[in-house]
Amino acid sequence: MDDDFELELQKTFFQEASINIEESEEVYLQFSDNTPIDLLARSFRLAHNLKGSAKAVGFSEIAEILHTLETLLLKLKKKEIEVNNSIINVLLMTNDKLKEIIEQYKNDLNFKPNQKEIIEEITKVLQESQKNSPNDNTDNKVTLEDNKETPQEEVVFFKKEKKEDNKVNHDVKIQKNKIKKEMSEEIIRIPLNKIEKLQNYIGEIVIIQSMFEEQIKNSTNQNLKNHFRLLNKTTKEVQDIVMNLRLVPIKPAFQKLARTARDTSVMLNKEIILNFLGENTEIDKFILDEISDPLMHMVRNAIDHGLESNEERLQKNKNKEGTVTVKASHESGNLILCVQDDGKGLNPKTLYEIATKKGVIKGNETLSDEECYHLIFAPGFSTKAETTEISGRGVGMDVVKTNIEMLSGKIEIFTEIDKGTTFKIKIPLSVGILDAFITEIANEKFIIPVNQVIECLSLNKSNINHLTGMESVIILRSEEIPIVDLSMGLQNKYNDKNKINEKVIIIVQSNGKKIGVIVDKIISIQSVVTKTIGEEMRCEKGIVGSVILGDGKVVPILEVSELITGNMFQQNVQRNKSILSSKAG
């Protein structure tokens, strides 16, 4: 076989094996005392397919493990043995081992794995299960080490395998042809860095386009303007395609959580129910990679710290099984992730005392309940008196917070004693390029992303009451919506020279509530290329990034609902209201 072709086959195997192993783990985690036959058949099919692929590319050790695994899965499929915790444990352990070996092969194709240990584990649990099986029949006992002693029924299986040995070459050929066909016709797998490179070029085109637009604004050449509009339309279509290429469902991250939750609950002897909502929510691949570990830590924490023991829950008249729910959704251009438990909740006094004892705070500060909840994100903080394998080292939630903030995300905590705790994570969904309103507020330009906006109204034609500060409202289709003048909060000294008939109210929505914000002017609606902001700007609530416009100016991106709740914004509003009141009075 040609070396290049063999190398391509091996690369394809790694990609397919990764998907296969993830799917297998998902299936094993669904195993229960009464596992449906179709789930058992699916697990067998996955193992069999991977075995065939491994043989095709010469990874015989992997094929040997899967051959033994197939024996166990076949017994389950035929209901000759019953699913139990020991079997699920060994299935997951085998999956981990396969994942480890494949990772080693990726680094070194000459790697020599040790497969004997895991094969012994599978064999051991199979033999024990057969002893305890109600269908146990000594005539049907399996001795994997010695095919001569294999019982009649198992012999049939191995005979089938022997017959299949004659078919192996044929199967290998089919497998190779299948891979070759997929590579050439159906699926083209593209490395993420190539997509990122393409996205960067699209970003550059969008910036150049903005510069070009500035140049032709005053041109009288209609043909040139028409061609520019056509260029805009085509660029937008290409941009949308590139952005969609990066989107993937969050389901793989949820699958890892299922495994983490199972292992943690078994280790802590806590019975739990794990719910997932919104597993098909699509997010950027980069965010998916970065969010997996923080989510795993939060779920582990919810089970360890949030949920009471089975006995404590019964004493509190709660269900013995604690519930952890993980939910993903989109809201106003953000990815919203919630990790919720129905456990003991956070006690602010206890958190304050622990933080004082551990030296996280001095103990003479006055903290609100919300500030006390956020002490759990302090480095070195832990509510555990003793260090365990899972927690108590004071390392974890601070790392979670750091990772979320690196994604320009934020965490909110909602908690009630004996009712439970919800961690709400908000992360900007888009990276790179977004559609935005370029607005003018107090003679400065600001960006408001289109996905935050519900609709826009002329201030002059709106039905508005009280046009002074935060108390103003608008009646829109019988709905009362609070109004905020952004120029009042974004400038120290209010100096409004803009005509009221040019001003616009932009209606945005956050947490299910509508807010109207007044801007002096909407300059344009266009695609912009986002840039990260420096540390000095990150402390400003409501400023989530920046863009470079066609005139070369760097303009901040506003998260409107957060901006108007920021301390600096509120202080400016109060100061300007006082000045206006004193002038009026």
Q: What is the pLDDT of residues 492-544, one digit of tens each?
A: 777 666 667 778 999 987 666 788 999 998 988 887 877 766 655 555 678 87
- Helix or strand holding residue 547 (H, E): strand 543-548
> What value does the mean pLDDT of the chain take?
80
Task: Specify the fold of 433-581.
Answer: OB fold (Dihydrolipoamide Acetyltransferase, E2P) (2.40.50)
Q: What is the pTM of this model?
A: 0.62
What is the residue extent of each domain of the chain? 1-130, 192-245, 248-383+394-428, 433-581
| pLDDT in the model for residue 321 | 92
Q: Residues 252, 244: contact at Cβ < 8 Å?
A: no
Q: What are phi and psi of 552, to 5 degrees?
A: 90, -5
CA–CA dist 138, 221 (Å, integer): 93
Do 506 and 447 contact (CB within 8 A), yes or no? no
Q: Is 248-383+394-428's fold the same as 433-581's?
A: no
**What pLDDT score was predicted for residue 184?**
45
- The CATH classification number of 1-130 equals 1.20.120.160
CATH architecture of 248-383+394-428: 2-Layer Sandwich (3.30)
With helix as H, strand as E and coil as C, how does 469-523 read?
HHHCEEEECCEEEEEEEHHHHHCCCCCCCCCHHHCEEEEEEECCEEEEEEECEEE
**pLDDT, tens digit, 9 for 90 and up, residues 13-31:** 888 888 889 889 888 988 8
Using CA of residue 227, residue 230, residue 236, residue 238, what is the dihedral sign? negative
| Residue tagged 């009075």 (tokens) | 585
pLDDT of residue 418: 93
- Res. 164: pLDDT tops 90: no
Closest CA to 346 of 307, 317, 319: 307
Dihedral over Cα of 393, 427, 18, 196: its sign = negative
Identify the pLDDT of residue 540: 66
Average pLDDT of the residues in 404-422: 88
CA angle 253, 24, 116 (to 5 degrees): 120
